[in-house]
Structure 1
């Protein structure tokens, strides 16, 4: 835990620090977690990756899925919640770690605040290091503002502090908790072009109507509406963002091959991720800033 975190938390009793071992078990020492418990909702954030692990609106249900086999170890991505995939998304052409380094780096808590509506805001920050520069040769500041109220709001700010343009893509890799993925509908993608990442050549197709997944699915939808609604037997989850893409993924039978998911556990989630990838990857000018937001609500 960073030296000034205890001082920051002392100002807000609704926030506390613990180890992942305390909440989820596993081997010591685990990873440091920040817990938020307010009258409007609760959340848990891993400082590694600025990674949301849980969000429960007051009187509501858990909106995020965390794998029962998730591993909490330094430098290893956590399966579930909302990993931050950046500064690239997916496989890297040069064989660098998939989905970038932000999700496995240790972020600092630099601001905490109770807002006028009783929501709680936390700002986490990551800056370049020798390790990051070896992977992505740009000085930077990544800043994630998390607001926990009746909805969960995320605002990402990326500053390119280097003197050259930086090619950048990102996704809020949201694992959304559902009673049964087989009976879940995703509304808000009708008429959108999607890239099928599972087929050779990554062909493009048009979505017709709501999406109901019945098998292994890995698609990138382009130029999507601001909101998608995930409808399931226990209610719904609204995902809103100002980004341009929606990635939809579930490993289906391949979950059995994934040590941190496991056979049958794929039924409890669907990944509906918002971000700017593929056609919508950006070039951040030297000294420039990229911003993206996403919110989750029932």
Structure 2
């Protein structure tokens, strides 16, 4: 049985869509089409996404946790524009909510360009995200370039994964991949040997990665499958003490293993062209 309703976040209040279905539940902030929660009902109903207890719900402020959509650029912008683009702090529209034949629930959201977005990224465009909440969580993104010039584009599904303790996490599926260590001078390109554990401040961008990564932890595992080409692994470690919306006491509860197309894997969307990307999370 499907139960869906709008609820409201913290002051000053952001609209949230709460989805309760037979196979799983989710919460989506309309600002950013931002997944805040996903709980599959199988295997005991464990939350797969981490949301900071100190997250701020305010118009124009990125929410810490869940799966922010970082686009149309990733990270810092060379011209000093807002980090991670405008999509995650823009208000999206809900187009449809549909119950699929297998009992999963599909929610479609869209963001069209405006004078404000064109001032930051000079392209007429249409962003569409389909979220499918079932035994797994599926995100299907499309970006249509409606302008008459090619558009340089990067994006990441910036997934914060809930874990009992980040120090116990083992990430497989990145072995023998080249990565950029953004914390080292010159941002050297290094080779990942074997599985990855996170034991300190970590900020790495892996290039040309396999479709699947598995994040194993003491309570089980989370599997990521994506048709994108980059993976980002991040945890601020003790630097979280300087982040007002995380705090020193909370960094141990998550690891970011993100999928997207960034750095060398950034794309140029031809005039009239469409970029498509997907990511699925499951236990």
Task: Provide the TM-score with structure 2 as the length reference.
Answer: 0.98
1:1-298 equivalences under 5 Å are 13-21=2-10, 27=11, 29-58=12-41, 59-298=44-283
Any unmatched runs of 5+ in structure 2? none
CA contact (8 A) 2:2 2:22 kept: no
Q: Deviations over 1:221-277 (max 9, x none)?
A: 011110000000000000110000000000001000000000121100000000000
For residues 165 and 293 of structure 1, the distance between their equivalents in structure 2, rounded to whole angstroms, comes to 22
Structure 1: tracts of 5 or more residues without a match: 1-11, 22-26
**Shift of residue 93 of structure 1?**
0.1
Query: SS in structure 2 opposite 1:30?
Result: coil
- Per the TM alignment, residue 106 of structure 1 is displaced from its structure 2 partner at its CA by 0.1
SS of residue matched to 1:283: strand
- Structure 1 residue 60, shift from structure 2 partner: 2.4
Distance 1:264 1:139 in 2: 43
- Distance between the aligned counterparts of 2:22 and 2:215, measured in 1? 25
Q: Aligned to 1:124, what secondary structure does the other structure show?
A: strand
Alignment partners' CA distance in 1, 2:91 and 2:265: 27
2:2, 2:21 within 8 Å by CA — same for their partners in 1? no
Query: Are the aligned partners of 2:28 and 2:37 in contact in 1 as well (CA < 8 Å)?
Result: yes
Runs of 4+ in 1 over 6 A off after TM superposition: none
Contact 2:2 2:99 in 1 (8 A): no
Q: Could you say what the CA RMSD is over the residues aligned between the two structures, in angstroms?
A: 0.8
Superposed CA deviations along residues 265-297 of structure 1, whole A, max 9, x for unmatched, are 110000000000000100000000000000000
Report the CA distance between 1:13 and its aligned residue: 4.8
Distance 1:31 1:221 in 2: 34
Q: 1:15: how far off?
A: 1.1
Equivalent-residue separation in structure 2 for 1:260 and 1:35 (angstroms): 23
How far apart are the structure 1 equivalents of 2:190 and 2:2? 50
Question: 1:17 and 1:233 mapped to 2: Cα distance?
Answer: 34
- TM-score, length-scaled by structure 1: 0.93
**How big is the shift at 1:128?**
0.3
Aligned residues: 281
Partner of 2:37: helix, strand, or coil? strand
SS class of match (2:197): coil
Counterpart CA distance in 1 for 2:120 and 2:193 is: 40
